[in-house]
Structure 1
Amino acid sequence: VKVLDDGYGEVAAIFVQLERQRKLYQKYGKVLELDGTYKTTRAGFALYHILIEDNNGDGQPVAKFFIKEETIEAISECLRVFSENNDVSVTKFTLTDKDCAEISALGKYFPSATHLLCQFHALKSVDFYLNKVNEGERVDIEKRHQIRKHFRTAMYATTQADFDSAKAFL
């Protein structure tokens, strides 16, 4: 357990990792997932989980941290603590939703890992922007359908040719 302060004596973050979790990470940490649950305490702290998938296909938390501010700096500081206590070179892929602060912070401490976006959140984000009214106008329904179709084709492509074809449309 490590408590981080904000430089003024106030708690900025609380990082927690058990020895059992550290060992799980070393064994199964090839893919690391980071996700936050917002405003989980009366003090307004967000709870973040660092997860791996074990040999049974189950998600296992390998660290948790509470942060007062959901910024690149705050997330980075907790990932710094994680990286000081774990061999992060075992991680080849990181996975998040579309949160830019999470993505940026992971890039600092897992520079060799390839970042992946959660498919659910990527599709949800595309749908959100396609349905959004911009300056009083909206993408027509047929065009939205075509964009969704090609985006999904690119996302689930099993060959480079399929991906390139869908990407060219987008």
Structure 2
Amino acid sequence: MRNQQSGSFANVGFIHKDLHNYIQAERKIEMKDGDTEYALAYLCAKADANPYFFYKYDKDQENRLGKLFWADSRSRLDYAAFGDVLVFDTTYKTNAYNKPFVIFIGVNNHFETTIFAYNLLVDETIATYTWVLQKLLETMDNKRPVSVLIDGDMAMSEAIQKVFPNAKHRLCNWHMHRNAKRNVQVDEFEGHFKHLMDLDANEVVFEEAWSKMVRKYGLQNNKWVSDTYNNKGMWAQSYLRGYFFAGMKSSQRCEGMHAFFNECLK
């Protein structure tokens, strides 16, 4: 073996990372223009074998695959039973084409993650997300979610308001907490803000506590704080009391699914 001839793996001159990079490069070389046809043929075969399997796609002006949506029979049955709360995260792009890969998920009666649908998108515009949500309705017999929880993507937020105007909209606590840390670099603010996010009190109590916090840290002119306050109805527990989110406050279940799919999407 090469490592025995060289004395050790360290002397081979071709380490594990080099092998990984080589394989990835070869995979990209192997990708032909026909890979889209192969993918669609696969989905078509699934639909032929199971009439309850659903997929839709569209093409751009150059006849290239633009958006791809699919849901299997189990996902459709789960959505019929548990689709009152819809959760998704739009930040996953670790596939070969660097396309946004969006998973619609929820939880079942055992509080276990269940997948409702999958989307491979061309971009992250309002028009694209509107198409995706419309396909979800088409797939799920026009059943609309009661509540929607997202990561804070503004294009998706606009699309939700357009397609699901009556759904209660919530922003992910984890993303809000991260943004607070990034935008307000003041000692102790991060923890104070998190406390107000989770404050299970009436709106009057929240307003008093918020004003006190802003004065304490001198944030009266901070744009992020002002903009965040204006959207309080989408993240403050005091303004979300009485709305059903199946016990969820963040989209981190999507992050867990992304880690799983990372092993498959090459």
Structure 2 length as normaliser, TM-score? 0.55
CA positional deviation for 1:167: 2.8
Residue aligning to 2:173 = 119
Q: Is the 8 A contact 2:90 2:153 kept in 1?
A: no
Determine if the alignment matches structure 1 residue 148 to structure 2 residue 196.
no
Listed as ranges, the gaps of 5+ residues in structure 1 are: 132-140
CA distance in 2 between counterparts of 1:44 and 1:6 reads 17
Show CA shifts across 1:97-142 (max 9, x none).
Answer: 12112222222221111111111111111111013xxxxxxxxx3x
Residue aligning to 2:136 = 82
Alignment of 1:1-170 (within 5 A): 1-86=55-140, 87-89=142-144, 91-131=145-185, 141=186, 144-145=187-188, 147-160=189-202, 161-169=204-212, 170=214
Q: Is the 8 A contact 1:34 1:102 kept in 2?
A: no
More helix per residue: 2
CA positional deviation for 1:40: 2.8
Identity %: 25
RMSD of Structure 2 on Structure 1 (CA): 1.8
Show CA shifts across 1:11-53 (max 9, x none).
Answer: 1111011122112111111111011343232222111000111
Partner secondary structure for residue 90 of structure 2:
strand
Which one is further off, 98-107 or 47-56?
Answer: 98-107
Listed as ranges, the gaps of 5+ residues in structure 2 are: 1-54, 215-266
CA distance in 2 between counterparts of 1:164 and 1:113 reads 24
| Structure 1 counterpart of 2:208, one-letter code | S
Q: Is the 8 A contact 1:154 1:162 kept in 2?
A: no
| Structure 1 counterpart of 2:175, one-letter code | H
The structure number with the bigger radius of gyration is 2
Aligned length: 157
Partner secondary structure for residue 52 of structure 1:
strand
More strand per residue: 1
Structure 1 length as normaliser, TM-score? 0.83
Residue aligning to 1:135 = none
